[in-house]
């Protein structure tokens, strides 16, 4: 038996988020046999970007139940089931954190439909829920709302179950223990970083830069580095001592700064990016009126840096 879950949160500092909405569909592998959907009063501020994304605001949640009022129902509907979510590490972490605040150790086996999709539906352009469901022809109602996203995940999971004919991939993918624990030193670094667009620099203890990246949300991206399980991610986690950053006004500026910084510093874990073959190059030039213009041209597959 499975419970497909989606959670919307307030945003904010890592492990300080609150739940604003939860949807749980109990699924027997063929059909939904039970469900629980509710707004939740998080008793804390909702980040503006989350309000814009989900449409959920504090006024809507004023009379919603608090988490402790629905906790028993969540325990009951998920008991003796495998918790399934698109990016299960996030939803499971949020649930465990909320229950921990109540003094309850909430433990469930988990399955991640992102990981399963990469195994069973390889070579997709993207494994975000929105792009993946569009590619598979799965209709999604109320995107970025718990019920809509959770029900889309039910349909996706049904496809994945059908593709795993021998059921060995899904069985091998079940997580029995949470893998989201972050060392306290790494957690301190994450919490010190802003959720802004910019370029970030990962340093060793002697100050050497070992990785440079860009992101629309620096804190979220560093969290991904620190919870990643690839060989490169694990090496970075062992060596990192500090993360510095430069705020950028746009993704384009961040891209240009990242490219230039990588060329200058040649970080050890940016080797793949340094060897990237660019299909287009970005040029800046001044026109006859003195205005600076940007132009993108094809470079016919030749190695050519963005300038």
pLDDT over 50 at 49, yes or no: yes
Regarding whether 265 and 284 lie in a shared domain, the answer is: no
Task: With CA atoms as reference, report the closest residue to 156 among 181, 174, 130.
Answer: 130
| pLDDT the model gives residue 277 | 46
CA torsion, ordered 87, 93, 99, 100, to nearest 10 deg:
180
pLDDT above 70 covers what percent of the chain? 86
Mean pLDDT of 214-242: 90
Confidence band, pLDDT 50/70/90 cuts, at residue 302: very low
CA dist 100 → 16, 29, 44, 149, 182 (Å) = 12, 30, 17, 25, 16
Regarding whether 19 and 161 lie in a shared domain, the answer is: yes
CA torsion, ordered 280, 286, 289, 290, to nearest 10 deg:
140
Regarding whether 194 and 169 lie in a shared domain, the answer is: no
Q: What's the pLDDT tens digit per position in 242-299? A: 999 999 989 999 999 999 999 999 999 987 554 444 556 666 666 666 666 666 665 5
pLDDT over 50 at 307, yes or no: no
Residue 93 lies in a domain: yes
Q: 214, 257 in Cβ contact below 8 A?
A: yes
For the ranges 33-47, 54-68, 157-171, the lowest mean pLDDT is seen at 157-171
pLDDT over 60 at 53, yes or no: yes
Regarding whether 157 and 55 lie in a shared domain, the answer is: yes
Q: What's the pLDDT tens digit per position in 4-29? A: 999 999 998 888 899 999 999 999 99
Residue 179 lies in a domain: no
| pLDDT the model gives residue 293 | 62
Q: What's the pLDDT tens digit per position in 261-271? A: 999 999 999 87
Residue 32 lies in a domain: yes
Regarding whether 116 and 265 lie in a shared domain, the answer is: no
Helical packing angle, 231-239 and 218-227, nearest 10°? 100
Regarding whether 62 and 207 lie in a shared domain, the answer is: no
Mean pLDDT of 145-160: 95
Regarding whether 211 and 163 lie in a shared domain, the answer is: no
d(CA 201, CA 297): 29
| pLDDT the model gives residue 84 | 96
d(CA 248, CA 232): 26
Strand partners, 42: none
Domain count, the chain: 3
Regarding whether 204 and 135 lie in a shared domain, the answer is: no
Which of the listed residues 132, 153, 173 is the one where a domain comes to its end? Answer: 173
Mean pLDDT of 202-228: 91
Regarding whether 74 and 57 lie in a shared domain, the answer is: yes
Regarding whether 162 and 196 lie in a shared domain, the answer is: no
Task: With CA atoms as reference, report the closest residue to 202 among 228, 227, 238, 230.
Answer: 238
Which of the listed residues 140, 173, 206 is the one where a domain comes to its end? Answer: 173
| pLDDT the model gives residue 247 | 93
Q: What's the pLDDT tens digit per position in 201-212? A: 999 999 999 999
Report the CATH number that the domain containing residue 116 is assigned in CATH: 3.30.420.10
């Amino acid at each position: 038996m499975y419970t497909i879950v989606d959670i919307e949160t307030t945003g904010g500092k890592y492990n300080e988020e609150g739940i604003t909405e939860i949807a749980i569909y109990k699924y027997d592998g063929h059909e939904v046999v039970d469900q629980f959907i509710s707004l939740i009063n998080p008793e804390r501020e909702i980040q503006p970007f989350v309000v814009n994304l989900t449409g959920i605001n504090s006024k809507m949640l004023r009379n919603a139940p608090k988490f402790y009022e629905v906790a028993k129902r969540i325990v009951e509907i998920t008991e003796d089931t495998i918790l399934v979510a698109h990016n299960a590490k996030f939803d499971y972490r949020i649930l465990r954190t909320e229950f921990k605040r109540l003094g309850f150790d909430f433990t469930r086996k988990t399955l991640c439909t992102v990981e399963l999709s990469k195994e069973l539906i390889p070579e997709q352009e993207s494994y975000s829920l929105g792009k993946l469901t569009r590619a598979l022809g799965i209709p999604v109602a109320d995107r970025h709302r718990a019920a809509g996203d959770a029900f889309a995940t039910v349909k996706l999971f049904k496809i994945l179950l059908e593709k795993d004919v021998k059921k060995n991939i899904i069985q091998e993918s079940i997580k029995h223990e949470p893998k989201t624990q972050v060392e306290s030193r790494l957690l301190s670094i994450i919490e010190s970083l802003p959720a802004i667009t910019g370029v970030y620099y990962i340093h060793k203890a002697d100050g050497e830069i070992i990785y440079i990246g860009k992101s629309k949300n620096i804190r979220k991206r560093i969290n991904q580095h620190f919870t990643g399980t690839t060989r490169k991610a694990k090496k970075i986690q062992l060596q990192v001592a500090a993360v510095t950053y430069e705020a950028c006004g746009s993704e384009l500026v961040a891209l240009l700064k990242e490219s230039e910084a990588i060329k200058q510093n040649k970080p050890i874990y940016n080797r793949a990016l340094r060897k990237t073959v660019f299909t287009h190059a970005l040029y800046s030039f001044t026109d006859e009126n003195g205005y600076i213009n940007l132009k993108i041209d094809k470079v016919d597959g030749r190695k050519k840096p963005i300038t």
